[in-house]
A and B are shown apart, each in its own frame.
Chain A
């Protein structure tokens, strides 16, 4: 059974600092997704990682996938307040069903 774990669950960081959110999954999966959720809102797709070694970047966010280690990371560079949100990773199962991590609540302080 596929399980997905994220850490940390909560991250408070200062503007301008760098940090990384980690996403581990328990069984083989060749697809990993990152989503952003603002308070009271739905989920917005950030990145789709479809192969080992995949790296994608959008603005101050960069996501990578290591399928051998069953690990994906979301790196935040020079954080700004607008990045405050909850970030979810999700891994794909055999039926295209996604299993989500518990989320990381990111609070960027001025």
Chain B
């Protein structure tokens, strides 16, 4: 079955550490996205990529980095520069035809 897979489901980060969240899709979608969700604040766009080897900053890119070396994969690194990384992170993918997003199951990141 086609879908989008995020891992891990739960992640704990120590102060000063970089951590990487995985996002893989087998839907043959061109575009991929990372959103952050905090309680009561909806979804905020971190980074997005419309095509391999290209990506753009979203509204809250500071403290995050991404790569898009393969069509199927769009990993997100939360760097030590992100001062308040505790949140629920959602990855999504889409075609270019505006059909909407398919979301992964999310990664819940907690700073310890």
Interface, chain A (partner B; CB < 8 A): 9, 31, 33, 35, 41-45, 48, 50, 88, 90, 92, 95-103
Contacts and interface: CB of A to CB of B under 8 A. Distances in A.
Interface of B: 31, 33, 35, 40-43, 45, 48, 50, 56, 58, 90, 94, 96, 98-106
Given A43-B90, A45-B101, A96-B31, A88 B45 contact: no
B33 A97 contact: yes
Contacts of B43: 43, 88, 100
B103 A96 contact: no
Given A100-B43, A101-B42, A33 B105 contact: no
Contact of A45 (B50, B98, B100): B100
Contacts of B58: 97
Contacts of B94: 96
24 contacts: A31-B100, A33-B101, A35-B103, A41-B106, A42-B90, A42-B103, A42-B104, A44-B103, A45-B100, A45-B102, A48-B100, A90-B100, A92-B98, A95-B50, A95-B56, A96-B31, A96-B94, A96-B98, A97-B33, A98-B101, A99-B45, A100-B35, A102-B42, A103-B42
Which 3 interchain pairs have the tightest Cβ spacing?
Answer: A102-B42, A100-B43, A42-B103
A42 B98 contact: no
B98 A50 contact: yes
A90 B35 CA distance: 13
B24 to A, nearest CB: 15
A48 B99 contact: yes
Nearest to B4: A42
A50 to B, nearest CB: 7
Contacts of A96: 31, 50, 94, 96, 98
